[in-house]
Structure 1
Amino acid sequence: MTNAEIILLRRRLREACVASGVETDRRARLVLAATLLAEPAVEAGGTPALSMSTADGTLAVTLVLPTAVDQRRRNELPLLPDTGNDSALTWYLPAGDDAPPAAADEEAATREEMLDLIARADTLAREQRELKHELAETNSGVLAMYVELEERDERLRQAHAVIFRELEDALRPRPPRVAGLDLAVHYAPSEPDSPTGGDLYDWFVLPGGDVHITLVDAVGHGVTSTRHALTVTHAIRTLALEGHPFQDLIGRAAHALASVEPGLVATVLLARLDPATGALTLANGSHPRPVLVTAAGDAELLVPPLVGRGVGFPDPGSHSLIHRVLAPGDLLVLYTDGLIESRKDHAEGEIRLLDAVRRNAARDTSAIPGTLAAQMLDVVLHTDDTVVIAVRRGL
């Protein structure tokens, strides 16, 4: 069985689960469990065999491996087999008619399962770290096991990083092409091998031609915060495209999500820009204050007359708006708090950011977000995800 055949095995499993109405969570864990078992066998030159059948509302999946699978390996699988001997493992998955519809293609189906894969990887990584700490306190007789865990942990981190990069491509949209505007973005995770976090953005062109930008920082880390941030950006995009007033978007999204995601807490910053006139409107819900640098080099923090509240905060909504007109060459910088809190001093971070934006405003727009992140995160006492967005009106 070649690598192509492993891909085919995954596809067969996915198609069988979809045809039987198996829910997405079980499908994702089954595909990952079968892959974890089949890949070592293939590397050793063996050929796993897969058989599937449906009866009495149950999908039965049997994987026969060339070598025995010990109990320890079985216990580590994301979906434990129900029956089987040493080399043949069988899963019984309940079928149904109410499972979510299948994704349109292989890439979309894989993307659906990414969050499940990352969540499982997070759990394994945490369990391994806890086990390593316990082993470090025991006698030298467990040293060989400790080394083995180190090697496995490194393989897990590498696989985690690959999943992370694929997920980043799916979650972080490219800048829209708009005549008269230059847009650029930089994202930096809190840790190099971190799966993802709660700092997300969305930007699109409204039917009338205005550019809409949403920047969200959901409280928490990992998959849950990513899901929360996606929920907020999707809700605001839907409300904006439905034509709701700009000032009401944060408050409407907060009230709509209160019953659906009661634990969701996120800061939100919205920007609406007319490319033809440069008219800019900002709505701020508990988010760090944007920076505006004029073509003449004057820099300021854009502060709303009344402080708004983000999603999940008491009295959510943007209680006042900020209005400016971007002249040709003016630069607007939006960001999440990871950019200014790396030294654990918010006020000091804002002062340094004003200076850094002023010094780098003459650079090409595409280089500004990454340059600001590199200069602001030179000393990191507090790690956090960071998003930096630059918007410049053309000359």
Structure 2
Amino acid sequence: MSSRVRIDVPEGSGFGPTHLPYCVFRPLGEEPRVGARLGDSIIDLAVALDDPMFHQPSLNAFMTQGPECWREVRERVTAAAESELPAAAVHAVRSVRLDLPVEIGDYVDFYASLDHATAMGRMLRPTGEPLLPNWRHLPVGYHGRAGTVVVSGTEVVRPHGQRKTDSGTPDFGPSRRLDIEAELGFLVGSGSELGKPIAAGDFAEHVFGVALVNDWSARDIQAWEGQPLGPFLGKSFATSLSAWVTPLDALTEARIPLPAQEPEPLPYLRDSAAWGLDIELRVEWNDQLVSTPPFRRMYWSPAQMLAHMTVNGASTRTGDLFASGTISGAERGERGSLMELTWGGTEPVELNGVGRTFLEDGDEVVITATAPAIGGGRLRLGEVRGRIAKAV
């Protein structure tokens, strides 16, 4: 008879039985498969649930099944987590390799924080209105590069590009103003047909879960190339995604009303459901806490983002990722980018006794987050981590 084990969850773990984030992992010398985290362990769902849907190199086969299946599987995983499991179904997190959890379809990045957009507007347009006229009427966004979304822990190579000089003409070389953007990503599970918009009220029927994102940004490249069409090479070189996907149903206690929206959005952006989220982020730069961005202050909700993204009839598919844009608060210590924290490089941050503005080679940034958990306490979203490698 095979041995069975029960997983003990340390107090304050943040990965208790009401959380159970999903991942794709590889035990040493074995093929990738889908797991769910409980405490410091991963439950191998292919073994624990005896289901080949989880012996896959991504979550996509599971995600495409839709919300009824997601809820049924979550109930089965919860029941398994509360019982003894076959020893072969349990792996220590520290003993496995974590892969990109989702095969990314399309990637869209929004600009949904009022505090961030206002701060950026004040830096870029110091004598004018910080917000452009459209900002309070729609969730502004752009299409990013899905092929350069990488799993947390992947090194980020400093990008080359054209950089504006004082003479007004560009030179070419490695970015000197390499930045972060602390964001929350939303993963589409159940896609939609071309020509059929997704209503804001149907958000939970399409979005499988959330994961932390760091949308690395080369501000000098972005500033020169971004007129008039916006982000391109200054953003497309790398976007880091956490290895852990928190199911939307694990965030029921984190849901809160949005801040007041003035003027009232157009009808397709109105939603009676509360899809603000009380999630607190932490940004550590070389092991020093530099910011605590609050997602609860985001102006546009993820439901509104998805509704706007599809209102023109654009389709979605399993694995599509859309991110919130930089999460920032009203105070300096709540800003989710170095551009804001250092006010465009004019107000250095003291980092381990040294004044710093943008990222240097060898720097490491780790973004973590917590949210109210079902039954009390707080859950922890899986971290997103990245270290800067020298330009090649």
Q: TM-score, normalised by structure 1?
A: 0.27
Q: Which has the larger radius of gyration?
A: 1
Structure 1 or 2: larger strand share?
A: 2
Q: TM-score, normalised by structure 2?
A: 0.27
Structure 1 or 2: larger helix share?
A: 1
